[in-house]
Amino acid sequence: MLEQIKETNYNIRNKTAFDEIPEKMYAWTLRSESLGEPIEAYHKELVDVPDIGDDELLIYNIASGINYNGVWAALGKPKNAVKTHQKYEKKQDFLICGCESSGIVCKVGKNVTDFKVGDEVICIGIQYDKNCEVVKKTGDPRLSPSFRIWGYEGNFGAFAQYSKVLEVQCIHKPKELSWESAAGCSATGGTVYNMLTHWKGNELQKGDIVLVWGGAGGLGSSAIPLIREMGGIPIAVVSSDKRGEWCKKLGAYGYINRSEYDHWGILSDELFNDENAYKKWLKNNLKIRKDIYKIAGKKEDPKIVLEHPGRDTLPSSIFLCAKKGMVVLCGATTGYLGSLDLRYLWLGIRRLQGSHAGFSTDVESYVNIIKRDGYPLPKVDVYDFEDIPMCLQNMYENKKLKGNAVAIIGKKPEDQ
């Protein structure tokens, strides 16, 4: 491992334009036969450094964001990502996860126009064919059949010394951002930026209350200062006072401690038909609503609810959302089979909006905000390359420390 890292450092320091790219690299891989909890599923292997195509770049990864896709891929549920990626490219029997990174361009394909060898870049997780007619017509790559998440549905992700990426995934890394912040800003920051700004009629407006589930997690801790910066009133939901106090430091007006409630989960027929159980469900939600008013200092409901726990929280999200407001959902950590009391949806003219990832323009807009002097960047927990499976395991068990997580992979040019 160390020898391999030395060799790549030499290439940077020597400014030989990476002409000595090694044939092999270290990577954390997943294979179909060993899927399961992250700590067991990932194996460190020496694999070939990938070849690149005409539209692709080879990146020397300095830091890799560690996010929840690495958990889903390890579990192999709801889909076996090791098999899915084979749909998009040359067949490999392993998958290298990791869907965001910061690094240095060390090779470019002949169709790449905006990047050259030696450029410092942020690699974001969305891959698609830029010539796809759907993308050209709609401007929304998520609608394209070629759309996939790099390091999950596309191979050669960021949990490796080198990654293969498309030009559409790269943006120039601003000097103001550390390698660590740059690596961990797109999957969460870009996604929440899209959630808050993309959905016409429900874009965040000044003075709007936004309820942020998992305020101390990756998405939540990226959302809180951003909402504040955009003039909104972020209120976090967390599972401990410690996490809640930390969210306040990030800019949350206050927090709801969800461990003080026990009405979570699906709304079953059984619950609905049991008068006492339904009353209790209602009472808990009314209490949360009252707490929101108290924290916000006004009798207004959240115009936007940032949803990602899914199954366990969706019924409350719809109930707590303002009339004509939006519950915008980008994940379902607690389960995919959600439930709703549909009356709250239609009687309150509420919107339940699915949202997925952020475009490179979202990440650029987000980066332009967070690179400003004095912006309260959320904490980034920094791990060693060796510790990626352990960090993912903690994430899976909701034991991860606060904020985003990244792993340092290569040596920073300024440290050489």
Ligand X SMILES: NC(=O)c1ccc[n+]([C@@H]2O[C@H](COP(=O)([O-])OP(=O)(O)OC[C@H]3O[C@@H](n4cnc5c(N)ncnc54)[C@H](OP(=O)(O)O)[C@@H]3O)[C@@H](O)[C@H]2O)c1
Binding of ligand X at residue 35 (CB under 6 A)? no
Which pair of tokens denotes residue 243? 């996490």
**Given 219, 230, 295, 370, the residue binding ligand X (CB under 6 A):** 219
Binding of ligand X at residue 359 (CB under 6 A)? no
Closest CA to 288 of 235, 251, 245: 235
| Shortest reach from residue 225's CB to ligand X, in Å | 15
**Given 121, 326, 330, 370, the residue binding ligand X (CB under 6 A):** 330
Residue whose CB is less far from ligand X, 147 or 162: 147
**Residue 95 and residue 153: Cα distance in Å, rounded?**
9
**Residue 156 and residue 334: Cα distance in Å, rounded?**
28
Binding of ligand X at residue 187 (CB under 6 A)? yes
Considering only residues 116 through 145, tell me which ones interact with ligand X, judged by CB under 6 A.
Answer: none
Residue whose CB is less far from ligand X, 50 or 244: 244
Considering only residues 292 through 311, tell me which ones interact with ligand X, judged by CB under 6 A.
Answer: 308-309
**Residue 291 and residue 78: Cα distance in Å, rounded?**
36
Given the DSSP bridges, would you call strands 304-307 and 326-329 parallel, antiparallel or unpaired? parallel
Residue whose CB is less far from ligand X, 96 or 236: 236
Residue 234's beta-bridge partner residues? 210
Which pair of tokens denotes residue 183? 């690596």
Which pair of tokens denotes residue 392? 């993912």
Please, are residues 122 and 173 in contact by the beta-carbon 8 Å criterion? yes
**Residue 199 and residue 354: Cα distance in Å, rounded?**
10
Tell me if residue 230 falls in helix, strand or coil: coil
**Given 8, 11, 29, 67, the residue binding ligand X (CB under 6 A):** 67
**Given 127, 188, 285, 393, the residue binding ligand X (CB under 6 A):** 188
| Shortest reach from residue 206's CB to ligand X, in Å | 25
- Size of residue set near ligand X by CB under 6 A: 31
Considering only residues 240 through 269, tell me which ones interact with ligand X, judged by CB under 6 A.
Answer: 243, 258
| Shortest reach from residue 302's CB to ligand X, in Å | 15
Q: Write out the DSSP string of 2-23.
A: HHHHHHHHHHHHTTSTTTT--S
| Shortest reach from residue 141's CB to ligand X, in Å | 13
Q: For residue 217, give the amino acid letter.
A: G
Which residues are at the interface with ligand X (CB under 6 A)? 67-69, 187-188, 191, 213-214, 216-220, 237-239, 243, 258, 308-309, 312-313, 330-331, 333-334, 356-357, 395, 398, 400
